[in-house]
Chains A and B, each alone.
Chain A
Amino acid sequence: MLSIDNLHVSVEGKSILNGINLDVKAGEVHAIMGPNGSGKSTLSSAIAGNESYEIDNGNILFKGENIVELAPEERAHRGIFLSFQYPIEIPGITVTNFIKTSINSNLKARGEKEMSASVMLKKIREKAELLDIDSKFLSRSLNEGFSGGEKKRNEIFQMAMLEPSLSILDETDSGLDIDALKIVANGVNKLKNKNNAVIVITHYQRLLDYIIPDYVHVLHDGKIVKSGDKQLAHELEEKGYDWIK
């Protein structure tokens, strides 16, 4: 599904990623771990197409297509979803209105018909329940005044609504208490199937207790320095990141 080949990325002239190679197939869960400043968030931003991140070299193939030159919304239309580490506040726009606009934009881009109000309503209700989201929450302004946990839950709610092929969860566990973490992880697990894939980006191992990865990669100084199965995450937790340096 996703194939990253020798990816070099820089921000404001400073190179952050120095040759990333990564292959993610449908049905897989990959975890990317690494210390602060190792380039984890840069990787997710580069895949999603944030224009502040300059791709100096390498390719990102998504479903066989090179997406490096695509606009962020075009990548989204193709099924890439990024759960932001710091979700953006947009005052005055309700969660409902935002998700409606998003879904219909995606459908339209794919040449499909817009979703009718009643179908959307049903879906919103169903997914809100899945993530234990109160209906009052849906009428609030997008992320404005949300707690850290509410923001992250809202990201996963959007993921549930959009049903992407590839979801990148950027530090989704930060700012969550254990109960919220369980709800979020549970949501992700329910959405997972053999046709989609998930990349979990995290500093700590604790989220991986709930979202079990098939592969774990360790990022250091802009490179994947070690790959393995979920056992690797446990080792990291015990020995710390100094171990892999």
Chain B
Amino acid sequence: MAYTEEELKKELETQEYAYGFVTDIEADTFPKGLNENIVRAISERKEEPNWMTEWRLSAYRAWEKMEEPNWANVKYTKPDFQKISYYSAPKSKDKYESLDEVDPELLKTFDKLGISIDEQKKLAGVAVDIVVDSVSVATTFKKTLSEKGIIFCSISEAIREHPELVKKYIGTVIPPKDNFYSALNSAVFSDGSFCYIPKGVKCPMELSTYFRINQAGTGQFERTLVIADKESYVSYLEGCTAPSRDENQLHAAVVELIALDDAEIKYSTVQNWFPGNKNGKGGVYNFVTKRGICHKNSKISWTQVETGSAVTWKYPSCILKGDNSIGEFYSIAVTNNYQQADTGTKMIHIGKNTKSTIISKGISAGKSQNSYRGLVQVNSKAENARNFSQCDSLLMGNKCGAHTFPYIEAKNNSAMVEHEASTSKIGEDQIFYCNQRGIDTEKAIALIVNGFSKEVLNKLPMEFAVEAQKLLEISLEGSVG
């Protein structure tokens, strides 16, 4: 790694970070419960075309017949789907033309989230789409992007403005009937982000979406669709927060990525949904389906830092359909107190000369359970497929658990698959060494955990990496006896 002074400087700078507030914004919320009429009402409220309404309804009908999965290594009270409100939007008239029109309360929220939109505009050049309680409220930087032909807007807007693109791609990577939660999402998603990068365009800035569940008793079901046309490139960031609440809130998102020939998509997530309090009360159920398809010579790279949620169930995957395509998955999952995470990836090798890399770092503290679950599948036509997987677990204390469930299936004799996993704890000698240099034990642990997670943190864009590091530290606070 080359080390410029600029990078050195950045590394030496620190940033502050704080969460856990409720924003007082008037919201337009549907009555609780789910039936065909609610699905229709959502579609109507969003002024969707008929085909979209029908698409939702068929997903709803399929969902009705499905059962909630229970194979994951997590225990929780199943949500009562009739006690959730499926639509909640910050009350306001129409779509904002510029940021000036946005409710000042909302802008304050963004400030608290650490995303000062103005500043980002000027300094980082990040275009941000913000989704509060599933409705997209502001998309910055639209103009700059549209000059390049990039479409970056809410999915509702995309359904209205670019129906041909949405119709062509939505549900192609994750069919509505793929699983229980993807079916639910397909029926009731109220908003999300849409992104299209035209042929040959390298998106000049990071695109970013912030998700926040604000209203009590609501679920968040956002839907993201990213299409990178031939030879294009995009880096996409996603951040999530929720206020501290006693009850469990449900988040069931669907993210579909499509990388056409020679395209590259980098998708980074920092997930910090409310994890519940110290006694395991409250917190978000995060049941997310994320999958991307790679066409010829394309690449999809998932990076995730998972520190939040009471229960996480999430497997960002790559279907390596095209020859020479590449899939990557870099993950840090931290669980503390009573959190449970069952996360990992699937790499499905179909095309020739396809490559995948999986680096997973699990850190368990408190009374939490942290599982890695992954599938590497090499199909019989996938000549020269290559996979390297590494799953490391760090245990802190003796009341938590770390689990590794890799599935490796190879049907081609030219495949090379390597999987390694290890479990360790923080060495007392490491802590003493830090102590001797004046670093207290809590800080020393944060430092060592950071080092343990470095390979993944390095994959995040710089602005995100600093935030992620801070988050790791906050998540593990009080985990030292």
Contact = CB atoms under 8 A, between A and B. Distances in A.
A172 B3 CA distance: 28
B426 to A, nearest CB: 10
A158 B438 CA distance: 12
A71 interface: yes
Interface in B432-475: 432-441, 443, 447-448, 450-455
A101 interface: yes
B5 A73 contact: no
Contact of B436 (A82, A91, A121, A141): A82
Contacts of B8: 96, 121, 124, 138-139
A118 B8 CA distance: 10
B450 A106 contact: no
Interface in A23-72: 48-51, 71-72
A50 B432 contact: yes
A138 B3 contact: yes
Contacts of B451: 90-93, 141-142
A87 interface: yes
A143 to B, nearest CB: 9
A91 B361 CA distance: 14
Contacts of B14: 114
A95 to B, nearest CB: 10
Q: Which among B12, B435, B443, B454 has the greatest number of chain A C-beta atoms within 10 A?
A: B12
Contact of A105 (B427, B432, B439): B439
A147 interface: no
Contact of A139 (B1, B13, B434): B1
Contact of B9 (A50, A82, A109, A117): A117
A94 B427 CA distance: 18
Nearest to A161: B437
Contacts of A51: 432
Q: Is the contact region of chain B dominated by helix, strand, or loop, or is it mixed? A: helix
A146 interface: no
Nearest to A79: B438
B430 interface: yes
A105 B438 contact: yes
A88 B5 contact: no
A148 B165 CA distance: 60
B198 to A, nearest CB: 38
B12 A92 contact: no
B447 A135 contact: no
Contacts of A93: 447-448, 450-451, 454
A203 interface: no
B97 interface: no
B111 interface: no
A235 B434 CA distance: 38
A73 B436 CA distance: 5
A84 interface: yes
B5 A121 contact: yes
Given A100-B11, A136-B3, A90 B438 contact: no
Q: Which among B427, B433, B438, B448 has the greatest number of chain A C-beta atoms within 10 A?
A: B438
Interface residues of A, number: 43
A96 B433 CA distance: 16
A162 interface: yes
A139 B437 CA distance: 19
Nearest to B439: A105
A102 B443 CA distance: 10
Contacts of B427: 88
A82 B448 CA distance: 20
Nearest to B361: A92
Interface string B1-40: 1010100110111100000000000000000000000000
Contacts of B429: 88
A84 B3 contact: no
Contact of B440 (A81, A88, A105, A141): A105
Interface string B401-442: 000000000000000000000000001011011111111110
B441 to A, nearest CB: 8
B11 A97 contact: yes
Nearest to B453: A92
Nearest to B427: A88
B437 A162 contact: yes
B452 A91 contact: yes
A117 B13 CA distance: 6
Given A73-B440, A117-B13, A92 B435 contact: no
A88 B453 CA distance: 18
A66 B447 CA distance: 30
A158 B433 contact: no
A90 B435 contact: no
Interface of A: 48-51, 71-73, 75-77, 81-82, 84, 87-88, 90-94, 96-98, 100-102, 105-106, 109, 114, 117-118, 120-121, 124, 135-136, 138-139, 141-142, 158, 162
Given A49-B435, A90-B451, A92-B453, 7 more contacts: A75-B436, A84-B433, A90-B433, A96-B12, A100-B12, A105-B437, A162-B437
23 contacts: A48-B436, A71-B440, A72-B432, A72-B435, A76-B437, A77-B438, A81-B436, A84-B433, A87-B433, A90-B451, A91-B451, A91-B454, A92-B451, A92-B452, A93-B450, A97-B11, A101-B439, A101-B447, A102-B439, A105-B439, A138-B3, A141-B454, A162-B438
Those 4 A-B pairs whose CB atoms lie nearest each other, nearest first:
A92-B451, A92-B454, A76-B438, A72-B435
